[in-house]
Amino acid sequence: MKILVMNGPNLQLLGRRKAEFYGTRTLPEIETMLQNVAAELGVDLEFMQSNHEGVLVDRVAAAITDGTDGIVINPAAYTHTSIALRDALEAARIPAVEVHLSNVASRDEFRKLSLTAPMCIGQITGLGADGYEWALRALVRYLVSKKMNE
């Protein structure tokens, strides 16, 4: 099983930016933690991060034909602004789980609307870096269950 872990703008700054919202773990530290979970679950991960909307949209489109079974995505600021990323997730029809380190519902008003979440099977917010682990576990459980019911 192949899972794509996508991260949007400014997430390369984790560990240095607004620790009160995003915690102190860096993106490479989160990726290492996820690799350990993936080994336990027996799945392969691919990581990518981009500050550019089109790069993220192109990667979702590529996932349609490259054997990607599921996506864990933190669209970051594009959560609230990117119709293009939303449309790419809808077109791909690949099960995805949206992750946010902070509790977006308790922050600025504009952060309360996710354009991308309706294209995902679920959303995990406010659990910090651990949210990535729970997203991965939930996605793999969903994919295994779906495969068993086919």
Catalytic residues: 22, 100
Say how far apart CA 37 and CA 53 lie, in whole Å: 28
Say how far apart CA 25 and CA 74 lie, in whole Å: 15
Say how far apart CA 92 and CA 87 lie, in whole Å: 8
DSSP code of 105? G
Which amino acid is residue 89, in one-letter code? L
Q: Which residue blocks in the chain are alpha helix, DSSP H?
A: 19-22, 27-41, 53-63, 83-92, 130-148
Say how far apart CA 16 and CA 3 lie, in whole Å: 27
